[in-house]
Amino acid sequence: MSRIILDYSSWLLPLCLLMGVAYAALLYSGKPLWSKEINFGLFLLRALAVSALAFLFLGPIIKFSTHAEEAPSLVLLVDNSQSVGKSKEAKDKKWSDDFWQTKEKLEKLGYEVHVRDLENKEVKKLDWKGKTSDLAGALKEVTSEMGDKNLSRILLVSDGIYNTGMSPLYFNSPVPVSAMGTGDTIAHPDLILKSLTYNQVAYQGNRFPLRAEIAAPKFSGQNITVTVRGKGKELARETVNTGAGEWTAVNFLLDASEEGLQQYDVSIEPLKNEYSRHNNSAAAFVEVVKGKKKILLVAAAPTPDIKALRYVIEKNANCELILHIPGISNAPPKMLEPGEAELVIIPDAYSYDRSNPTLSAFAKSKTPLFIILSEWFNPQAMDIPIRFERSGGTDQITPQLNTAFLNFNFPQNAAEVFSKFPPVTVPFGKFAYPANAHVLFHQRIGSVSTDRPWLLSWDNNGQKMAVALSGGFWKWRLSEYAQHEQTEIFDNVFGKLIQYLCGKEDKRRFRCFPVRPEFLEGEAAEMEVQTYNEIFELMIGNTVQLQLKQAQTNKNFQFVTSQNPVYKLGLLSAGVYTYTAQTALSGKTETVRGQFVVRPQNAEEQTSVANHAILRRLSSQTQGHFYKANEWEKFISQCSPAPAAKLHEDESYHPLIDRKWIFLCLFLLLSAEWFIRKWSGGY
């Protein structure tokens, strides 16, 4: 079914017709060169053409409505993780056949059946290769996607073990969730290396602790041996007694002798009759560095912005934050001297002026500065090269990320995330800033984007400097957590800003580095590659050779630089990788070397005991049912009869002017008029 709707009042339709008639009457009211019949025909053709053109100015839109019956949907949500793959059901071909036959029987009952895994991907074969189990996340994704498709129920086929995300019991499902329990709920004799606790960064020449926590169900009172190896050599060995078998910890003290990323393999020597030996080992990856970068934060009083920056800085294991808030947290006097810290941050800078000798010394030094102004602050008070003409009053602005900022890159969705943050207050007025400044954030007032910066950075005669025109950005971090239950985008952007300010300027024309220092096994590793000409303009079209080395394995890649600097290396096995990248610039071979780590995902090896209790509670609180692993027929019987199909209406809107036949009709009308006039001796 379709109908035409207008952007303007339908009372204008007679006016369109009147315009066509009036225009045609004016054109053909004189004495014609042809017969009255031809003149009247020409009058009608011109009146119709002009009326149709006037009608198109009313913005007619065709509304199409279609009605269709939508069958009830049912989702078979399969926990495809490795822990389920060890169960007897996963190894039983008959059980697998029954699973697919159940799908067919449900479809015959009238259901539209979708088989999904915990990543919400369509399943065509049960392979049990999932590295983690996020039951709540999977239920949330399925109900979100299928919510408008007459979803009637979900059957979760799982062992009840979740090792990622929140408990599925906290998920409020809009439809009944039934559960089918797989796996064995009886504990077997096993040695499980549950976790390794260690500092991810150690200093060269020092010793660092490593703690191995071990569960030993059904192995009470047994002596077990734990060893630590690095680069094929045994570094330490300890023998302990399991005691009651519930929990045992072994502590090691290792030497950080070699700089760079180091892999330490911890393993438990297996015992007789052990249920599984796949969970007897784990790897620790420690970055051995010469020393941390010291970041000094000088403030007159505590503020929420300080706490937000502290979280960002302390996430970087290579940075050390030193707070100096007089009377609350006093930094060592030596740290207040220029040159001792790699970066000095001054929030709420209105409290300081030229009379403060410490800040005056920092302003005159080459130490990088990150200054956060306030609406009362005069930039000239600290010799900041910003000229501000205060006009009185303030503005409420939201941040607009400048995607053309060149000093570092952002996550793809960073601009969208920042655009939804709450406003902060900035002083109103005109100001000028250095011509060599790069704007990281512009100000957006309401829905209007401006060219006024909120945060900018520049080279101040060899001193890196960044200035934010106001504080209050702590609200952005909280807003991101409220919306996404994480602060990844805020921490990424501000973390990169701090790294850029406290890092030495990179004058290399060829840069190749991993987008993150660590990747998880099962996700694609990515490298960022940039090439520049002699005046440091970005170049594209350069061929880059990349070689990866890990243990005895070498992998070679070749790619050509483009506007997108990120290149995927694909899935890599766990371990420490060293890379060597080469390209030719101006006839010379440029080489870059570095390291990154791929961490193993062994969450599925941490327990072998199915948790059917959580599945029973989940099905009970969502008005579903719990089934044993082979109760397919019982589940089918409780799904019969299928709910009635839902009448679904789809609406679509298309501007009439987009229809090609409209132009064809107008063309035919005007062409016919022109032809008749010519045929009749007119012009």
Rounded-to-integer distance, Cα 155 and Cα 79, Å: 11
Asked whether the predicted pLDDT for residue 378 surpasses 70, the reply is no
Give yes or no: residues 590 and 633 share one domain. no
pLDDT tens profile 402-417: 888 877 778 888 889 9
Domain boundary among 225, 258, 289: 289
Contacts within 8 Å (CB) and 24+ apart, 202-206: 202/256, 202/286, 202/287, 202/288, 202/289, 203/256, 203/288, 203/289, 203/290, 203/291, 203/292, 204/256, 204/257, 204/258, 204/259, 204/288, 204/289, 204/290, 205/256, 205/257, 206/256
Asked whether the predicted pLDDT for residue 34 surpasses 50, the reply is yes
Helices (H) and strands (E) in the chain, counts: 14, 34
Task: State the pLDDT at residue 355.
Answer: 42
Task: State the pLDDT at residue 1.
Answer: 65
Q: Is the pTM of this model over 0.85?
A: no
Parent domain of 521: 510-599
Give yes or no: residues 595 and 629 share one domain. no
> What percent of the chain clears pLDDT 70, i.e. is strictly above it?
95
The H-or-E segment that residue 44 falls in is helix 36-56
Rounded-to-integer distance, Cα 360 and Cα 340, Å: 15
Of the listed ranges 193-207, 375-389, 490-504, the one predicted with least confidence: 375-389
129 assigned to some structural domain: yes
What HEC string does 266-277 produce? EEECCCCCCCCC
Pick from 320, 369, 323: nearest CA to 349: 369
In DSSP terms, 237 is beta-bridged to 227
Confidence band of 165 (pLDDT split at 50, 70, 90): confident
User: If phi over 0 gives left and psi between -120 and 50 gives alpha, with beta otherwise, what is residue 276?
Assistant: beta
The H-or-E segment that residue 36 falls in is helix 36-56
Rounded-to-integer distance, Cα 50 and Cα 20, Å: 5
Asked, as a colleague might, if the bond just before 304 is cis with ω within 30 of 0, I would say: no
| Distances in whole angstroms, Cα of residue 673 to Cα of each of 324, 395, 599, 677 | 87, 61, 77, 6
Task: State the pLDDT at residue 356.
Answer: 63
Rounded-to-integer distance, Cα 47 and Cα 54, Å: 11
| Strand bridging mode 151-158 / 543-550 | unpaired
Mean pLDDT within 578-594: 91
Rounded-to-integer distance, Cα 526 and Cα 448, Å: 36
Pick from 509, 498, 528, 530: nearest CA to 596: 528
Rounded-to-integer distance, Cα 556 and Cα 545, Å: 7
| Distances in whole angstroms, Cα of residue 392 to Cα of each of 383, 410, 426, 431 | 22, 35, 11, 13
Average pLDDT over all residues of the chain: 86
pLDDT tens profile 111-152: 999 999 998 899 888 888 888 889 999 999 999 888 777 888
Tokens (6 digits) for 287: 């970055």
Mean pLDDT within 578-599: 90
Mean pLDDT within 468-494: 91
44 assigned to some structural domain: yes
Pick from 454, 426, 423: nearest CA to 441: 454
Task: Give the CATH number for residue 554.
Answer: 2.60.40.1930
Residue type, 120: N
Confidence band of 683 (pLDDT split at 50, 70, 90): low
Give yes or no: residues 363 and 236 share one domain. no
Task: Give the CATH number for residue 461.
Answer: 3.40.50
Tokens (6 digits) for 256: 């950080």
Confidence band of 354 (pLDDT split at 50, 70, 90): very low
Asked whether the predicted pLDDT for residue 581 surpasses 90, the reply is yes
297 assigned to some structural domain: no
Confidence band of 204 (pLDDT split at 50, 70, 90): confident
Give yes or no: residues 259 and 358 share one domain. no
Instruction: Check residues 353 and 667 and name the one with the higher pLDDT.
Output: 667
Which residues, 6+ apart, have CB-to-CB distance to 198 below 8 Å?
208, 209, 210, 211, 284, 286
Of the listed ranges 114-128, 380-394, 587-601, 612-626, the one predicted with least confidence: 380-394
Tokens (6 digits) for 288: 């051995």
Do 369 and 465 contact (CB within 8 A), yes or no?
yes
Asked whether the predicted pLDDT for residue 32 surpasses 80, the reply is no
545 assigned to some structural domain: yes
Give yes or no: residues 285 and 414 share one domain. no
Q: Is 354 strand, coil or helix?
A: coil
How many domains would you assign to the chain? 5
Tokens (6 digits) for 565: 């600097």
Task: State the pLDDT at residue 490.
Answer: 93
Give yes or no: residues 311 and 446 share one domain. yes
Give yes or no: residues 62 and 76 share one domain. no
Do 518 and 596 contact (CB within 8 A), yes or no?
yes
Asked whether the predicted pLDDT for residue 579 surpasses 90, the reply is yes
Give yes or no: residues 518 and 440 share one domain. no
277 assigned to some structural domain: yes
For 519-659, where are the alpha helices, taking DSSP H only? 612-621, 632-638
Give yes or no: residues 491 and 556 share one domain. no
Domain boundary among 237, 260, 289: 289
Do 274 and 610 contact (CB within 8 A), yes or no?
no
Confidence band of 421 (pLDDT split at 50, 70, 90): very high
Give yes or no: residues 250 and 359 share one domain. no
For 402-473, where are the alpha helices, taking DSSP H only? 414-419
Mean pLDDT within 85-93: 86
For 517-629, where are the alpha helices, taking DSSP H only? 612-621
Task: State the pLDDT at residue 8.
Answer: 78
299 assigned to some structural domain: no
Burial of 21 (0-12, 13-18, 19+ CB in 10 A): middle
Confidence band of 7 (pLDDT split at 50, 70, 90): confident
- Compute the Cα dihedral for 98, 100, 103, 104 and give only its sign: negative
Pick from 115, 118, 116: nearest CA to 130: 118
Confidence band of 382 (pLDDT split at 50, 70, 90): low
Tokens (6 digits) for 529: 């590659």
Give yes or no: residues 42 and 134 share one domain. no
Rounded-to-10 torsion of CA 253, 257, 258, 262: 0
Domain boundary among 289, 319, 335: 289
What angle separates helix 660-679 from helix 36-56, to the nearest 10 degrees? Answer: 160
pLDDT tens profile 512-552: 989 888 888 878 899 999 888 877 778 888 999 999 998 77
In angstroms and rounded to an integer, the radius of gyration of the C-alpha atoms of the chain is 35
Mean pLDDT within 33-49: 84
493 assigned to some structural domain: yes
| Strand bridging mode 293-298 / 343-346 | parallel
In the chain, what are the helix, strand and coil shares in percent, each to the nearest 5? Answer: 25, 35, 35
| Strand bridging mode 281-289 / 201-203 | parallel
Of the listed ranges 14-28, 63-77, 239-253, 383-397, the one predicted with least confidence: 383-397
Give yes or no: residues 163 and 178 share one domain. yes
Give exposure, 388-427, as e/b (b: 16+ Cβ within 10 Å): beeeeeebebbbbbbeebeeebbeeebeebbeebebbebb
| Distances in whole angstroms, Cα of residue 658 to Cα of each of 17, 59, 612, 653, 664 | 22, 11, 58, 11, 12
Do 549 and 525 contact (CB within 8 A), yes or no?
no
pLDDT tens profile 298-339: 888 888 999 999 999 988 877 889 999 888 888 888 888 888
Residue linked to tokens 């930094």: 331
Asked whether the predicted pLDDT for residue 353 surpasses 60, the reply is no
92 assigned to some structural domain: no
